[in-house]
């Protein structure tokens, strides 16, 4: 056992005689105190204050102009050629990227720079000591929070510096517009909104039902009991060979033709003439998340989606009997023409594919 202790003066190499006790300081790190507050030029010079205010307002105003310029350039700088097979013009793409990037990037930068300049030059910055207290939501706490908010509002000058306030509100009000323009312009320019394009397909009255891939017309008499045929509308062949319109209709228009015994079909009111001798046509797109389905069980007339196992009863109007899908498969009304070929009576009476928030029913 050692017979010496650390010297109370803090020298760890020095020792104290046996029997005496060293004293350890209560706080080994001295309180440095508050740092010196150096007044800003805007605190003592009214001209400098007004100059800083104009700088901040100018940044916000310029941000507003750049936001408007972004929208203008987005509209006037086109990158779509007349012939989709030729691809886009790389020069147009570069000009579009440059103008859109500069205008939107500078607008965002100026809003941020203006806020920083406002905080550093004009907002008051007193030294505040906040004492620790129990965390509880009582009346006193809420009153203190409200008082702090009012004090902060007063110190920022948001209420009395109308030039800065109005220019900031104008810049912030315009900043979301580019996002609105971009989101609204997604998809092909067909004169319809994205929600309206989901409401219908290229099926129409009198359009023949063709086999998928080979695009051959289908005679009702050629289908056997229990047979399933994937089909497309004849109008699909009239679409351009390339481009988004063909891709979108390829995703929306496929149907499945199934033939069962007429007595096995449970016809819903209003659908008495939607089939032909037990031949029914349903959308091939699952109403859950839009997977293509064709796993058909002949004996039960059940159609299984391989993605999430939603199961539909094709003999009962495409009703959901299992899985996460929440609505039946849309049924396409069909008939036969004078030559015995299957044709559509109309488009689908409801949107095909998964449910989405724009659906009205």
Identify the pLDDT of residue 348.
Answer: 92
Residue 141: φ, ψ to 5°:
-65, -45
Question: Do 154 and 250 share a domain, yes or no?
Answer: no
- In this structure, the answer to whether residues 246 and 276 fall within a common structural domain is yes
- Digitized pLDDT (tens) for each residue of the chain, 361 residues in all: 444 444 445 454 555 555 555 555 666 677 666 666 677 888 888 899 899 999 999 999 999 999 999 999 988 887 655 455 555 566 778 888 899 999 999 999 999 999 999 988 888 776 667 776 666 677 888 888 888 888 888 888 777 888 888 898 888 888 888 888 777 666 555 566 555 666 789 999 999 999 998 999 999 999 999 999 999 999 999 888 887 788 888 888 999 999 999 999 999 999 999 999 999 999 999 999 899 998 999 899 999 999 999 999 999 999 999 999 989 999 999 999 999 999 999 999 988 988 765 554 4
Domain co-membership, 199 together with 116? no
How many Cα atoms sit within 13 Å of 303 on the Cβ side? Answer: 32
* Rounded Cα gap, residues 73 and 52, in angstroms: 31
Give how many domains the chain has, as a whole number.
Answer: 2
| Letter string b/e over residues 142-156, b meaning 16 or more CB atoms within 10 A of that residue's CB | eeeeeeeeeeeeeeb
Residues 81 and 221 reside in one and the same domain: no
| Residues 308/324, Cβ–Cβ less than 8 Å | yes
Does some domain include residue 123?
A: yes
Do residues 203 and 344 touch, judged by C-beta distance below 8 A? yes
Residue 26 lies in a domain: no
First to last CA, the chain: 88
Tokens found for residue 2: 């050692």
**Cβ-based neighbour number of residue 78 at 10 Å:** 12
Q: Is residue 25 part of a domain?
A: no
Please state, in angstroms and rounded to a whole number, the distance separating the CA atoms of residues 97 and 99. Answer: 6
Residue 208 and residue 176 in one domain? no
d(CA 353, CA 335): 23
If asked whether residues 206 and 322 sit together in one domain, one would say yes
Residue 100 forms part of a structural domain: yes
CATH number at residue 231: 2.102.10.10
- Domain assignment present for residue 112? The answer is yes
Q: Distance between CA 307 and CA 293 in Å, rounded?
A: 9
> Does 317 lie in the same domain as 176?
no
Q: What is the pLDDT of residue 205?
A: 93
Range of the domain at 157: 41-127+138-186
Report in angstroms the alpha-carbon separations of 71 from 107, 314, 331, 355: 12, 49, 42, 32
- Is residue 209 located within the same domain as residue 276? yes
**199 and 179 housed in the same domain:** no
23 occurs within a structural domain: no
Residue 37 is predicted with a pLDDT of 65
Are 57 and 162 members of one domain? yes
Residue 10 resides in a domain: no
Q: Are residues 325 and 213 in the same domain?
A: yes
In a domain, 118, yes or no: yes
Cα 8 to Cα 1, 12, 18, 21, 171, distances in angstroms:
20, 9, 13, 8, 64
Same domain, 110 and 223: no
């Amino acid at each position: 056992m050692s017979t010496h202790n650390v010297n109370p003066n803090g020298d760890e190499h020095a020792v104290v005689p046996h029997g005496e006790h060293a004293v350890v300081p209560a706080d080994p790190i001295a309180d440095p105190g508050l740092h010196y507050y150096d007044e800003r030029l805007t605190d003592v010079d009214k001209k400098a204050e007004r100059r800083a205010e104009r700088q901040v307002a100018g940044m916000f105003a310029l941000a507003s102009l750049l936001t408007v310029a972004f929208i203008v350039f987005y509209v006037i700088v086109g990158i779509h050629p007349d012939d989709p097979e030729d691809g886009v013009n790389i020069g147009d793409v570069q000009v579009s990227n440059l103008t859109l990037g500069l205008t939107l990037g500078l607008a965002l930068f100026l809003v941020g720079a203006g806020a920083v300049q406002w905080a550093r030059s004009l907002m008051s910055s007193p030294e505040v000591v906040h004492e620790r207290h129990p965390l509880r939501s009582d009346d006193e706490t809420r009153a203190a929070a409200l008082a702090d908010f009012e004090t902060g509002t007063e110190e920022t000058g948001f209420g009395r510096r109308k030039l800065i306030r109005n220019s900031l509100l104008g810049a912030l009000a315009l900043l979301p517009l580019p996002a609105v323009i971009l989101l609204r312009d997604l998809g092909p320019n067909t004169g319809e909104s994205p929600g309206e394009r989901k409401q219908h397909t290229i099926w129409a009255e009198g359009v023949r039902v063709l086999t998928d891939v080979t695009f051959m017309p289908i005679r009702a008499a050629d289908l056997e009991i229990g047979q399933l045929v994937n089909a497309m509308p004849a109008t699909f062949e009239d679409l351009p060979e390339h481009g988004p319109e063909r891709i979108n209709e390829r995703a929306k228009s496929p149907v499945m033709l199934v033939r069962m015994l007429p007595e096995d079909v449970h016809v819903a009111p209003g659908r008495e003439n939607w089939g032909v001798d037990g031949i029914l046509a349903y959308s091939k797109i699952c109403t859950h998340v839009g997977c293509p389905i064709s796993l058909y069980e002949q004996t039960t007339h059940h159609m299984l989606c391989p993605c999430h196992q939603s199961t539909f009863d094709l003999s009962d109007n495409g009703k959901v009997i299992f899985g996460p899908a929440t609505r039946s498969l849309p049924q396409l009304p069909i008939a036969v023409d004078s030559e015995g070929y299957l044709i559509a009576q109309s488009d689908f009476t409801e949107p095909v594919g998964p449910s989405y928030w724009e659906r009205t029913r």
